[in-house]
Amino acid sequence: MALTPFDADDAAQFLARVTDATASAADRAPLERSVAELAGMGLTPGSVVMIALPNGLRLVRIFFAAVLAGYVPVLLPPSTPVSRTALIADRLGAAALIRSRIPLQEYAQGRVQRVDDLEALLLTDYPQQVHRPGQAILLTSGTSGIATGCLHDIDALLRNARRHAASIGQTAADTLLVSLPVYYSFALVAQVLSAFRTGSRLVVTAPPYTARSQFTAVAEHRATVSSLTPFLLRTLLSESGGELPGGLRAVTVGGQSVPAQTSRRLLERNPGLELYLTYGLTEAGPRVSTLAAHREPEHRLESVGRALEGVSVGTRQVEGDREELIVVSDTVHRGRVGEGDTTGRGDLLAPEVLATGDLGRVDADGYVHVQGRLSDFTEIRGEKVSLASVRRAAESLDGVVRAVPRVQRQDGQELVHVEFFMSELNPRTAVATENSLRRQLHSLLTPGERPGAFTLTPAPAAGFQK
């Protein structure tokens, strides 16, 4: 593998096309200088460098610069607590941490060096891991442990980005709005790297990530392609009826599956809109399949489409008659680093063969249907219960932007507890709202699936993202 999986001049030209309304002069420093200053840290080629910066042009530039300097970057949320950062550094064998400012008094070891008008903490006490230059580590969402990452080849991530872009018709004529945190694998690969690979203009926005801020940014920057989480999509439908600004050609949705009625409502409110529902997981590189919902008949809207070019999806039998989705692709991760996985999600069965941990099926026409996760099933009073079914039913109710079912023990018995995250929650009418939700949900579920406990919570402004 080449030391640099992309050309430095191409990367510099791409960065010149990135729009960031909050960028300062320092944020627009030449890429060549950034590469030189990162290389000046004197780390061994292939060293792991953690980058914890806010969304924006600088974060994108430092990521590209770290790769060109021969390091293995890993993106962290800038709000990651010091204790969590230290744990991740230890588990990943990191050699440095780059932040806007390093609170040295809060770290037990290391020395600080100025790099690109930022601060780099050079870690000296952790046993450092060295990988191959031209690789990156993508942190998982937490389903595999709080300090678990997947080691990927950069050129594989670029292939995945190109395949995703092709599946949604993205070209150099598009303006792509990134309104999700870049440290998520979806935003990094399916948005940032896809814009780099296709020549699209990229607009990077900062938090808060809300339906309203998304609406404003699309109009302000004349974006033609943007992405929503299922949470933001449901919020958009509840707040504004789902009407999007004119000029927006395509919307992609990643994360949890989207109910057919939600997709249908968005398309009805936006004639001519292209809606793409996507499926993937960090371990896969990350995108696996895409459904062009605007071109499909009603019965296909419950699927996540067909596999991308160069990707195949099959199943294997697990635990009785259930089937687990298996992905075969040259973009799956090289291996897991950090904490050991405790869920079975993302296990490599062989090189380029991934056990997803997701239950589902592939129909005769090649459309992939995700039906939950292996961990989504439990047994209550001797009856098998699908938590995924409970979640989907709960999230179909008006006003519910997300539902999280859990199994808890009460009075010596196990029961399903559902936490409802509500778009609006009036404390004076909370009891009546809970009773109404209970009646509606019970009408959709079998007696064995019906929750024994409910909690109503206001939905966070930042939303949810896998």
What one-letter code names the amino acid at 21? A
Look at residues 464, 11, 17, 6 and name the one whose alpha carbon lies nearest to residue 204. 17
What one-letter code names the amino acid at 165? A
pTM value is 0.82
Could you tell me which residues come within 8 angstroms of residue 39 by beta carbon, excluding any fewer than 6 positions away? 69, 70
Structure tokens at 244: 């999007």
Q: Which whole-number Å values give the CA distances from 432 to 326, 435, 458, in the listed order?
A: 44, 5, 16
CB 224 within 8 A of CB 248: yes
Give pLDDT tens digits along the chain (466 positions): 346 789 999 999 999 999 998 888 888 999 999 999 999 999 999 999 999 999 999 999 999 999 999 999 999 989 888 888 888 898 899 999 999 999 877 776 778 999 999 999 999 877 899 999 999 999 986 444 456 899 999 999 999 999 999 999 999 999 999 988 899 999 999 999 999 999 999 999 988 777 778 888 999 999 999 998 887 888 888 777 788 888 999 999 986 678 888 899 999 999 999 999 999 999 999 999 999 999 999 999 999 999 999 999 999 998 778 899 999 999 999 999 986 544 456 688 999 999 998 889 999 999 999 987 776 667 676 566 778 778 888 888 888 888 888 888 777 677 888 988 888 888 888 888 889 999 999 888 877 788 888 889 887 654 544 4
Domains of the chain as residue ranges with CATH: 8-133 (3.40.50), 154-374 (3.40.50.12780), 381-458 (3.30.300.30)
| Phi/psi at 134 (5° precision) | 90, 15
Omega before 286 within 30 of 0, i.e. cis = yes
CB 149 within 8 A of CB 182: no
